[in-house]
């Protein structure tokens, strides 16, 4: 149990966190980076620091690019606290964390939150069955343990991460029974209006197209415009049903990997009562922040996918910008110095974000896969179905907190991570108002589980 | 015990990724092996474990969904500590992992004896 | 045009209990309730239906509390009948732990004083460590003892709120959501209430708006000087049945989660949590039941009690503006039965129902004496 101080505390050692640490340390700040994993990398570069060459090659060049960043971070002079679970960040800059079974508090001059993104919940019938995982989970299994599906696997949903995973599986010799794509002609049409941005981000486009080529050449069966997805099974998933091309399909599988985008992890920012806006292009909540990632809670910055989905390269730029903002806030660099260092970062950030509107439009998750039918479980922890929540709305619950009080959705261990977005959108849809009007769960600490004994031992 | 071998290791069992030693652990008494540094969740999945826990609400079977500590469906009992997120814990030699069957309980010795619940007439 | 007999300002535990009590006797009721992110003391509730220790220095409150606890089973049954919701009332008796001999002595003195003021109609036991351990084997060595009464119990406060809402609707109560009352104007034949962009009219109005009562009461010639008082609570994971009896600081809910409280803090309108207070609550929990050391915490919250200067409720009918009432308390669960069965008929003016006996003790005017200072003992 210790209490220490530092200039800048960074929560999360992914691309945003590592980049922020590197520049802050170089500018002379005392920096502490806290991360719950045992090595740097976050999720996108998970296990990069001790990945063997053959795995790095398998995962592809985007993953490999994380290596130099991780090396620079290791050499930066920033203190890296591994296996540290941050359970509360206060507006006053106190970072409470759990490590080795003991709680400690780090008092920081500035805090940069880089807790990244989570998979968007995918509430279809049967999504809670054993054997149904997210594409992100499958990537983590691959990156951290060389574990892949043992039998032909079904990938379902949409978005670059899904296709990337398929590409990685093809390279690894993992048979893919089907790629069930929910992208429809309407999505392509909608995305066309953002083609300018896509062409400006042509490197991303080129990469995406070549991914698809590899999948098609490998003979992966594609189904497009898929709707009415449902996982079937008793003790585990046994098949995926869906309709596509006017036909009903049923594909047997014991492993189903779902993905329709990632969303900012907003547990910390909501717990700080920072302002958030509903982003209708990305269908998620984003913390309100200025050009330096500073929240309306003074002294707290956010960088990376936690600010809004932009990918690893954008996250790195945002991490540096947040660090510059924090250093300036601490009076360690002048406005002129800050702005000069920021210039190339802003230019690079703009470039990396050019493709976003196109991707957001093309891979917009389907309403039916975000706002499910009555009998589909919405809150996995407390097993509350969509119909129950609609019933609470009929009883007068206007928002998620009243619905929570009435039906326990959001009260389980995940504290709304898997159901929050669904509940917000479901209530908005039932009431006929916007998600912005409905709001989100009140998020409270502990952001990570802590035992009574561990808390009792704290200051 | 019924298992559903959904996952496998890309690397043959006797040649772990970087010459790391293999670790012996147990799931519901069954001996398993996994490379040191691997998460308990990955180890269980690669060894054919299908159900990690049954829910307190309905007894439904659950297994990992997100693998990053955000879904809490990978909860198992590890060395007598219930409800541990197995995707966030690394395997250790001799580790005893058990299905988290519904609610956790406190050790029997310290359990509180319940009086009959009575409604006032 | 609105055709209510009674408007209830506030849709929390107090407001809905009043609305329910009135509506089931045939009164046409409208409830004006705020939005989803209001402070809502009703959502931050420990769930105790608690008698012991209350009314120290104010015997009418001790009587008032005992009455409500005794009538609670009727409330639970009525709600179940009307809605099918079981609010999980359990009244097995409750314990108040003491952690030192001084605390035991002070506690005994307090309980004795209440009992004497009630001519001994107040049965309680002081249990030393050994006697307590015989009843609750899981207590830790640091627990010196406890006071116990058979009258104490607990219920599920969120199910209660939900049941009251559903029961209200069952009896035709109209709810106006997102309607924060800002102005009440007495008129001929009743009152006009502005809430948002709408105005409401009724011959009778009761202010059950929690902290909002402070601003509203003077508009109808009443005085309700309430202030926020924060309590923090820790919520643990669900556990197999471990504790049937409620205790002041630790209880297990019907769903199996463990709740630990609490605190009394004057921090204004801040319902956040602080690591130091949570730590103190955690320490007391572990000292009470050492097995709880391994309990995983899921959530911590703070909520604002609606606190009068002396901590006792305010029930008052306005003489300046007949037909207007104010109701405020910080024990919305314990007093729910009284609110539904005794206060509601009085407010609704149901034939034959005069003011409940002794209600004058709870008049808000008691705070108008500028020379007196008050202290609230929880």
Q: DSSP assignment of A272-307, as one string?
A: TT--EEEETTTTEEEE-B-TT-BBSSTTEEE-GGGT
Identify the residue among C161, C298, C303, C332 best suited for mutation to test binding to A, counting A beta carbons within 10 A and taking the highest.
C298
Note whether C77 contacts B: Cβ–Cβ < 8 A: no
Note whether C89 contacts B: Cβ–Cβ < 8 A: yes
Evaluate whether C307 touches C229 at the Cβ level (below 8 Å). yes
Centre a 10 Å sphere on the Cβ of residue A332 and count the other Cβ atoms it contains: 18
Q: How confident is residue A406, by pLDDT bands cut at 50, 70 and 90? A: confident
CATH of the domain at A294: 3.50.50.60
Q: Does residue A458 carry a pLDDT above 70? A: no
Domain boundary among C149, C172, C188: C149
The pair phi, psi for residue A137, each rounded to 5°, is: -65, -40
Instruction: Indicate if A207 and A171 belong to the same structural domain.
Output: yes
Instruction: Indicate if C129 and C263 belong to the same structural domain.
Output: no
pLDDT (0 to 100) of residue B121: 22
Which residues does chain B have within 8 Å of residue A256's beta carbon, measured at their own beta carbons?
none
Evaluate whether B114 touches C138 at the Cβ level (below 8 Å). no
Overall domain count for chain C: 3
Which residues does chain B have within 8 Å of residue A142's beta carbon, measured at their own beta carbons?
10
Q: Does residue A297 sit within a domain?
A: yes
Indicate the pairing of strand C94-98 with strand C324-328: unpaired
Cβ-defined contact of A133 to B39 (cutoff 8 Å): no
Instruction: Indicate if A126 and A246 belong to the same structural domain.
Output: yes
Q: Does residue C220 sit within a domain?
A: yes
Query: Token pair for residue A89?
Result: 């960040």
CATH of the domain at A429: 1.10.10.1100
CA distance, residue B31 to nearest chain A CA (Å):
19
Q: Does residue A40 carry a pLDDT above 70? A: yes
pLDDT (0 to 100) of residue C36: 66
Q: Does residue C58 sit within a domain?
A: no
Residue C81 and residue B31: Cα distance in Å, rounded? 54
Instruction: Indicate if C129 and C266 belong to the same structural domain.
Output: no
Instruction: Indicate if C256 and C215 belong to the same structural domain.
Output: no
Q: Does residue C198 sit within a domain?
A: yes
Residue C323 and residue C6: Cα distance in Å, rounded? 9
Instruction: Indicate if C232 and C301 belong to the same structural domain.
Output: yes
Note whether B59 contacts C: Cβ–Cβ < 8 A: no
Go through chain C and tell me how many residues it has.
378
Evaluate whether A403 touches A393 at the Cβ level (below 8 Å). yes
pLDDT above 70 covers a percentage of chain A that reads: 99
Question: Which residues does B110 contact at the CB level (< 8 Å), separation at least 6?
Answer: C137, C138, C289, C290, C291
Which residues does chain C have within 8 Å of residue A405's beta carbon, measured at their own beta carbons?
43, 158, 161-162
Instruction: Indicate if A33 and A140 belong to the same structural domain.
Output: no
Q: Does residue C61 carry a pLDDT above 50? A: yes
Q: How confident is residue A3, by pLDDT bands cut at 50, 70 and 90? A: confident
Note whether A172 contacts B: Cβ–Cβ < 8 A: yes
Instruction: Indicate if A388 and A319 belong to the same structural domain.
Output: no
Instruction: Indicate if A132 and A256 belong to the same structural domain.
Output: yes
Residue C245 and residue C92: Cα distance in Å, rounded? 6
Chains that touch B (3 or more CB pairs under 8 A): A, C
Cβ-defined contact of A395 to C166 (cutoff 8 Å): yes
Instruction: Indicate if A218 and A280 belong to the same structural domain.
Output: no
Q: Does residue A347 sit within a domain?
A: no
Evaluate whether B78 touches B87 at the Cβ level (below 8 Å). no
> What is the pTM assigned to this prediction?
0.93
Instruction: Indicate if C278 and C232 belong to the same structural domain.
Output: yes
Q: Which of A440, A369, A370, A368 is nearest to A398 (CA)?
A: A440
Note whether A130 contacts B: Cβ–Cβ < 8 A: yes
Instruction: Indicate if A39 and A101 belong to the same structural domain.
Output: yes
Domain boundary among A231, A260, A289: A260
Instruction: Indicate if A125 and A239 belong to the same structural domain.
Output: yes
Q: Does residue B113 carry a pLDDT above 80? A: no
Domain boundary among A239, A260, A281: A260
Instruction: Over range C236-259, report the average pLDDT.
Output: 94
Q: Which of C6, C108, C8, C17 is nearest to C331 (CA)?
A: C17
Query: Token pair for residue A425?
Result: 């959108």
**Where do we find the tokens 């209530």?**
A427
Q: Does residue A39 sit within a domain?
A: yes
Instruction: Indicate if A253 and A282 belong to the same structural domain.
Output: no
Instruction: Indicate if A283 and A396 belong to the same structural domain.
Output: no
Centre a 10 Å sphere on the Cβ of residue A216 and count the other Cβ atoms it contains: 12
Note whether A118 contacts B: Cβ–Cβ < 8 A: yes
Instruction: Over range B87-112, report the average pLDDT.
Output: 83
Instruction: Over range A333-340, report the average pLDDT.
Output: 97
Per-range mean pLDDT, top range of A189-198, B97-106, C146-155, C365-374: C146-155
Cβ-defined contact of B113 to C241 (cutoff 8 Å): no
Cβ-defined contact of B70 to A132 (cutoff 8 Å): no
Q: Does residue A339 sit within a domain?
A: no
pLDDT (0 to 100) of residue A169: 97
Q: How confident is residue B110, by pLDDT bands cut at 50, 70 and 90? A: very low
Q: Does residue B109 carry a pLDDT above 60? A: no
Q: Does residue A452 sit within a domain?
A: no
Cβ-defined contact of A398 to C177 (cutoff 8 Å): yes
Note whether A150 contacts B: Cβ–Cβ < 8 A: yes
Query: Token pair for residue C187?
Result: 């008129």
- Tell me the per-residue pLDDT of A65-89, one tens digit each, with 9 for 90 and over: 999 999 999 999 999 999 999 999 9
Mean pLDDT of chain C: 93
Nearest CA in chain A to B48: A150
Identify the residue among A456, A458, A459 best suited for mutation to test binding to C, counting C beta carbons within 10 A and taking the highest.
A456
Q: Does residue C67 sit within a domain?
A: no
**Where do we find the tokens 């790195």?**
A316
Q: Does residue A10 sit within a domain?
A: yes
Question: Which residues does A176 contact at the CB level (< 8 Å), separation at least 6?
Answer: A152, A153, A154, A155, A166, A169, A170, A215, A218, A220, A221
Q: Does residue A416 carry a pLDDT above 80? A: yes
pLDDT (0 to 100) of residue A199: 84
- Tell me the per-residue pLDDT of C63-120, one tens digit each, with 9 for 90 and over: 999 999 999 999 999 999 999 999 999 999 999 999 999 999 999 999 999 999 999 9
The ipTM, to two decimals, is 0.95
CATH of the domain at C18: 3.50.50.60
Q: Does residue C214 sit within a domain?
A: yes
The residue range of the domain holding C100 is 94-149
Question: Which residues does C148 contact at the CB level (< 8 Å), separation at least 6?
Answer: C52, C93, C94, C95, C96, C124, C125, C126, C127, C135
Q: Does residue C88 sit within a domain?
A: no
The residue range of the domain holding A55 is 3-118+263-333
Instruction: Indicate if A433 and A397 belong to the same structural domain.
Output: yes
Query: Token pair for residue C374?
Result: 């008050």
Instruction: Indicate if C241 and C299 belong to the same structural domain.
Output: yes
Evaluate whether C126 touches C145 at the Cβ level (below 8 Å). yes
Note whether C57 contacts B: Cβ–Cβ < 8 A: no
Domain boundary among A260, A277, A305: A260
Instruction: Indicate if C231 and C303 belong to the same structural domain.
Output: yes
Overall domain count for chain A: 3
For C277-316, letters b (16+ CB in 10 Å) and e give bbbebbbbbbbbbbbbbbbbbbbbbbbbbbbbebbbbbbb
- What are the structural domains of chain B? 22-110 (3.10.20.440)
Q: Does residue A341 sit within a domain?
A: no
Instruction: Indicate if A250 and A289 belong to the same structural domain.
Output: no
Q: Does residue A366 sit within a domain?
A: no
Residue C84 and residue C81: Cα distance in Å, rounded? 6
């Amino acid at each position: 149990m210790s209490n220490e101080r530092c200039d800048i505390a960074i929560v999360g050692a992914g691309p945003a966190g590592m980049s922020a640490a590197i520049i802050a340390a170089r500018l002379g700040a005392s920096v502490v980076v806290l991360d719950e994993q045992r090595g740097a990398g976050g999720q996108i570069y998970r296990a990069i620091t001790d990945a063997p060459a053959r795995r790095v090659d398998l995962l592809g060049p985007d993953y490999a690019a994380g290596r130099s960043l991780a090396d620079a971070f290791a050499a930066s002079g920033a203190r890296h606290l591994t296996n540290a679970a941050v359970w509360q960040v206060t507006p006053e800059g106190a970072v409470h964390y759990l490590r080795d079974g003991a709680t400690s508090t780090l008092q920081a001059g500035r805090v940069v939150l880089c807790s990244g993104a989570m998979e968007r919940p995918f509430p279809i019938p049967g999504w809670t069955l054993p054997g149904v995982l997210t594409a992100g989970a499958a990537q983590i299994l691959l990156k951290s343990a060389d574990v892949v599906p043992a039998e032909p696997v079904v990938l379902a949903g949409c978005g670059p991460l899904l296709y990337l995973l398929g590409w990685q599986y093809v390279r690894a010799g993992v048979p893919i029974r089907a790629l069930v794509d929910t992208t429809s002609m309407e999505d392509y049409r909608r995305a066309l209006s953002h083609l300018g941005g896509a062409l400006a981000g042509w490197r991303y486009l080129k990469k995406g197209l070549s991914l698809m080529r590899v999948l098609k050449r490998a003979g992966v069966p594609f189904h497009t415009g898929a709707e009415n997805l449902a996982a079937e099974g008793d003790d585990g998933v046994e098949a995926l049903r869906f309709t596509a091309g006017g036909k009903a399909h049923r594909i047997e599988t014991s492993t189903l990997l779902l993905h329709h985008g990632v969303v900012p992890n907003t547990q910390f920012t909501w717990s700080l009562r920072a302002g958030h806006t509903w982003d209708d292009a990305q269908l998620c909540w984003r913390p309100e922040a200025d050009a330096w990632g500073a929240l309306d809670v003074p002294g707290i910055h956010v960088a990376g996918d936690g600010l809004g989905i932009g990918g690893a390269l954008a996250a790195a730029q945002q991490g540096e910008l947040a660090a510059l903002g924090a250093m300036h806030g601490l009076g360690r660099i002048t406005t002129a110095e800050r702005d000069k260092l920021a210039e190339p970062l802003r230019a690079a950030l703009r470039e990396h974000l050019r493709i976003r509107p196109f991707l957001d439009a093309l891979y917009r998750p389907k309403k039916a896969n975000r706002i499910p039918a009555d009998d589909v479980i919405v809150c996995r922890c407390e097993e509350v179905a969509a119909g129950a929540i609609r019933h609470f709305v009929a009883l007068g619950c206007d928002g998620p907190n009243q619905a929570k009080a009435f039906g326990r959705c959001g009260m389980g261990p995940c504290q709304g991570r898997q159901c929050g977005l669904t509940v917000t959108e479901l209530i908005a849809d039932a009431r006929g108002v916007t998600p912005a009007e409905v709001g989100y769960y009140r998020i409270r600490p502990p952001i990570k589980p802590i035992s009574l004994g561990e808390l009792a031992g704290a200051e | 015990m019924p298992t559903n071998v959904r996952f496998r290791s890309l690397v043959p069992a006797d040649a772990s990724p970087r010459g790391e030693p293999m670790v012996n652990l147990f799931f519901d008494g069954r001996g398993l092996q996994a490379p040191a540094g691997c998460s308990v969740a990955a180890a269980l999945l690669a060894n054919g474990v299908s159900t990690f826990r049954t829910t307190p609400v309905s007894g439904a079977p659950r297994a990992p969904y997100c693998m990053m500590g955000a879904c809490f469906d990978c909860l198992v009992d590890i060395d007598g500590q219930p409800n541990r997120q197995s995707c966030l814990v690394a395997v250790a030699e001799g580790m005893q992992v058990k299905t988290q069957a519904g609610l956790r309980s406190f050790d029997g010795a310290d359990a509180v004896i319940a009086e009959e619940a009575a409604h006032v007439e | 045009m609105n055709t209510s007999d009674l408007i209830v300002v506030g849709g929390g535990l107090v407001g809905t209990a009043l609305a329910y009590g009135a509506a089931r006797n045939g009164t046409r009721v409208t409830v004006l309730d705020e939005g989803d992110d209001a402070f809502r003391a009703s959502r931050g509730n420990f769930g105790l239906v608690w008698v012991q220790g209350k009314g120290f220095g104010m015997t009418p409150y001790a009587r008032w509390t005992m009455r409500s606890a005794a009538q609670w089973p009727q409330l639970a049954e009525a709600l179940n009948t009307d809605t099918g919701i079981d609010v999980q009332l359990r009244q097995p008796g409750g314990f108040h732990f003491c952690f030192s001999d001084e605390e035991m002595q002070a506690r005994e003195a307090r309980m004795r004083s209440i009992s004497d003021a009630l001519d001994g109609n107040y049965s309680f036991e002081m249990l030393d460590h050994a006697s307590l351990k015989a009843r609750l084997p899981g207590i830790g060595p640091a627990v010196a003892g406890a006071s116990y009464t058979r009258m104490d119990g607990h219920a599920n406060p969120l199910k209660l709120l939900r049941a009251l809402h559903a029961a209200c609707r069952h009896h035709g109560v109209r709810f106006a959501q997102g309607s924060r009352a800002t102005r009440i104007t007495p008129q001929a034949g009743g009152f006009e209430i502005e809430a948002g962009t709408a105005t409401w009219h009724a011959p009778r109005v009761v202010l059950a708006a929690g902290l909002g009562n402070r601003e509203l009461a003077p508009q109808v010639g009443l005085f309700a000087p309430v202030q926020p008082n924060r309590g923090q609570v820790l919520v643990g994971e669900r556990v197999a049945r471990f504790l049937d009896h409620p205790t002041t600081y630790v209880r297990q809910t019907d769903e199996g989660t463990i709740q630990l409280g609490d605190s009394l803090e004057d921090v204004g309108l801040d319902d956040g949590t602080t690591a130091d207070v949570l730590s103190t609550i955690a320490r007391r929990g572990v000292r009470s039941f050492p097995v709880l050391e391994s309990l995983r915490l899921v959530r911590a919250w703070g909520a604002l009690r609606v606190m009068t200067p002396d901590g006792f409720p305010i029930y008052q009918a306005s003489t300046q503006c007949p037909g207007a009432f104010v109701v405020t308390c910080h024990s919305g669960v314990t007093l729910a039965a009284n609110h539904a069965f005794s206060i509601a008929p009085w407010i609704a003016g149901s034939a034959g129902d005069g003011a409940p006996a002794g209600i004058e003790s709870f008049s808000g005017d008691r705070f108008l004496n500028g020379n007196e200072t008050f202290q609230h003992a929880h």
